Structures are given as C-alpha cells and as structure tokens.
Amino acid sequence: MDVPEDLRYSREHEWVRITDGVATVGITDFAQESLGDVVYVGLPTVGTAVRAADSVCEIESTKSVSEIYAPVSGTVQAVNERLVESPELVNRDPYGDGWIMQIALAEDPGLDALLDAAGYRALVE
C-alpha cells in the first residue's frame, strides 16, 4: 500500500495535495484497492461550493458504489475530465493521473482535521 509522505489524508480515504491555495484531491491507494476495478467516476460540478466532509461525487467499481467526500472546504475549481473516458486511471495512478478534483481553499478550509502519512497508515493498518 502506497502512502506518500507529502500528502494529507482524510479518514474517508481521500488524499490532498495543497499547492498555492488549491487542493488536488483523489482517493488513496488503499481505497482504490478496496474498491476493485473502477468503472465510473461521477465528477462534481466546477463552481460548486463544498464544505469538508460533504459528499461531492461518487465512484463506481465492479464491487460497489462509494461516495467521495470533500476533505477540505472551498470551491470546486477543476475536475479530471480524463476520468470520464478512462475511470481506470484511479486504479492505475491514484496519486497522479487518477486525481478527481481541485478545490480552491476557503478561508478556513479545515486542514487541521486531515491526517499526515503516519496517521493515515495507522488508520488503515
């Protein structure tokens, strides 16, 4: 199970990479392994205001349908359109090409609730 040290993690198995006030978000390697083969990602709408812990979209695999939660508060700024045609990118490269959305951070985005890599490993092991 891959848990990059430079990311933050939610208890719902989303990862967050913060760059210049924008959070890139995807699901963790643990989550994609648990789901199995991803066959559909319902992307959120750009411009939607989200609060940390809000359900923002869903992901469907051969095993189940799961909700994706906003790990931070802000406004959806971009979505990974490549997932429409190639949802398997979530399985192949969860921390790279399989990202799901980017959220422009709110004034109080709720970063304190996120786990570091060690905390996330402890949660899933």
Q: Which residues contact 96 (CB under 8 A, 6 or more apart)?
A: none
- Better-predicted residue by pLDDT, 86 or 1: 86
Structure tokens at 58: 């869903």
Query: Which CATH number goes with the domain that contains 53?
Result: 2.40.50.100
pLDDT over 90 (residue 1): no
In a domain, 115, yes or no: no
Burial grade of 108 (CB within 10 A; 0-12, 13-18, 19 or more): exposed
> Could you give the number of structural domains in the chain?
1
- Mean pLDDT to the nearest integer, 35-63: 96
For 70, the domain range is 8-107
- Mean pLDDT to the nearest integer, 2-29: 96
Total-model pTM:
0.94
